[in-house]
Amino acid sequence: MYELHFGVPMAGGVLCTLNIRHSAKMVSALLRNSDAKVIFVDYQFLEIAREAIHLLTQQKANLPLLVLVSDCHDALPSVTNSIPNDVLEYESFLRSGQPEFQIRWPKDELEPISLNYTSGTTSTPKGVVYSHRGAYLNSLATVLMYEMNSMPVYLWTAPMFHCNGWCFAWGVAAQGGTSICLRNVIPKNIFEAISSHKVTHMCGVPTVLNMILNAAANDRKPLPRKVQVMTGGSPPSPNIILEMEELGFGITHIYGLTETYGPGTVCTWKPEWDLLPSEERVKLKSRQGLHHLGLAEVDIKDPVTMKSVPPDGKTMGEVMFRGNTVMSGYLNDLKATTEAFAGGWFRSGDLGVKDLDGYIKLKDRSKDIIISGGENVSSMEVESVICGHPAVLEAAVVGRPDDHWGETVCAFVKLKDGCEASAEDIIKFCRAHLANYMVPKAVYFEDLPKTSTGKTQKFVLREKAKTMGSPSKA
């Protein structure tokens, strides 16, 4: 995957990375939507690719050339014995190339370099088009906001198929870095890689940080040095930030979307904040912050009037972006592109506030805000409090229809292994930290449904909450 991030653009092609967790049906749909000419497949996912191509055959669609990749010599013979004649092996494919081939530079820097599909948290994945210019600028911006020095040792715990590894696929190379890759992202492998390779930097969504924090004692190893971690994807709770720092990791909090090439803002740290109590410090760090140097502007605006909200930390609006590191558009979807850029700004669909110092803070997705008795409840704020309970691993909060209040707060919680807590325990904990109208009226314990990039599928939970009926009568 790392080689292809350079080889495909150098050959004049557009790279389209597909999530390894996709089903054959989804892979088939994305191959058709992207009109891919070649698909490179790791040997572990050969059967998924074969099934996807079989589905394309049934639809009489154009079929991509299949190239098998294997970095496991023991597995290669057994795999290659069953490969059809029209499937190529990666190393053999490369050897068939022309040594004198000249790099095909883009004639225009706004030509596409990659196509990335959204997670599909609220709808079918959309193809987000990145330009050479945007990728170049965001790659350098991520390195700058991370304060990544030359010759870093970078551990890949944020996948390269997600926003081209938040553009670090190119950024790490620009700094002459070493990439450490894991076939399986599990705590034991993470700690072993950090210890063996003296890792300096890594990225990961809060789910990965939770995984590290809850690693079994025999899977942990002492850190040879402070490891800088850039986290984003979904807002990390202050509790996660604090525990990671206590473990010896340095945390940089970023925020963005697939449509902003990954990172779009960073919670730029001020030295005077180091003197604050830890609880106050991590609350400041949990904010989404300011736009990075490669982006023109980020703002919180009223989505109807397009006026900026006052920096009072209370008035809510929609987070909007504009600049070179915002997508060129959605592939073959003019309607969705036009809607996304209505008013001349990219509308993220995220709701937030702006503090007096200009830093932004997310409150919710526009579809996730809960209105209970006329009060707006931020599901993210409630989730952050619930995750502060010592027994809680993950939490998701949605609105449950209520005949009297309109909606009430409904929480779905996953506990840490070996820990116990009752619904009343969680509710009591919330009462101590939240206004009464924000406290969950119901708590359910279960695994949370996730998208292919690890984000909670709240629309699934909302549908489940709807079937539960109203907890009160009008």
Residue 234's pLDDT is what? Answer: 73
Residue 452's pLDDT is what? Answer: 62
On whether the CB atoms of residues 445 and 414 are closer than 8 A, the answer is: yes
Residue 81's pLDDT is what? Answer: 54
Q: Which residues of the chain have pLDDT under 70?
A: 71-86, 120-123, 374, 452-453, 472-474
pTM of the model: 0.82
Distances in Å between the alpha carbon of 339 and those of 160, 255, 349? 28, 22, 11
Q: What is the 3-state secondary structure (H, E, C) of the chain?
A: CHHHHHHHHHCCCCEECCCCCCCHHHHHHHHHHHCCCEEEEEHHHHHHHHHHHHHHHHCCCCCCEEEEECCCCCHHHHHHCCCCCCEEEHHHHHHCCCCCCCCCCCCCCCCEEEEEECCCCCCCCCEEEEEHHHHHHHHHHHHHHCCCCCCCEEECCCCCCCHHHHCHHHHHHHCCCEEECCCCCCHHHHHHHHHHHCCCEEEECHHHHHHHHCCCHHHCCCCCCCEEEEECCCCCCHHHHHHHHHHCEEEEEEEEEHHHCEEEEECCCCHHHHHCCHHHHHHHHCCCEEECCCCCEEEEECCCCCCECCCCCCCCEEEEEECCCCCCEECCCHHHHHHHCCCCCEEEEEEEEECCCCCEEEEEECCCCEEECCEEECHHHHHHHHCCCCCEEEEEEEEEEECCCEEEEEEEEEECCCCCCCHHHHHHHHHCCCCHHHCCCEEEECCCCECCCCCECHHHHHHHHHCCCCCCCC
**Beta strands 112-117 and 127-131, pairing class:** antiparallel
Q: What is the 3-state secondary structure (H, E, C) of 365-412?
A: ECCCCEEECCEEECHHHHHHHHCCCCCEEEEEEEEEEECCCEEEEEEE
Residue 402's pLDDT is what? Answer: 85
Q: 121-141: per-residue pLDDT in tens?
A: 445 789 999 999 999 999 999
Closest C-alpha among 400, 411, 369 to residue 471 = 400
- Calpha distance 355→156 (Å, rounded): 33
Amino acid letter, residue 176: G
Closest C-alpha among 194, 202, 199 to residue 231 = 202
Alpha carbon of residue 407 to chain centroid: 29
Amino acid letter, residue 289: G
Distances in Å between the alpha carbon of 104 and those of 6, 8, 316? 12, 10, 47
Closest C-alpha among 473, 371, 432, 118 to residue 260 = 118
159-196 exposure pattern, b = at least 16 Cβ within 10 A, e = fewer: bbbbbbbbbbbbbbeebebebbeeeebebeebbebbee
Residue 84's pLDDT is what? Answer: 59
Instruction: Report the Cα–Cα distance between both ends of the chain, in Å, rounded.
Output: 57
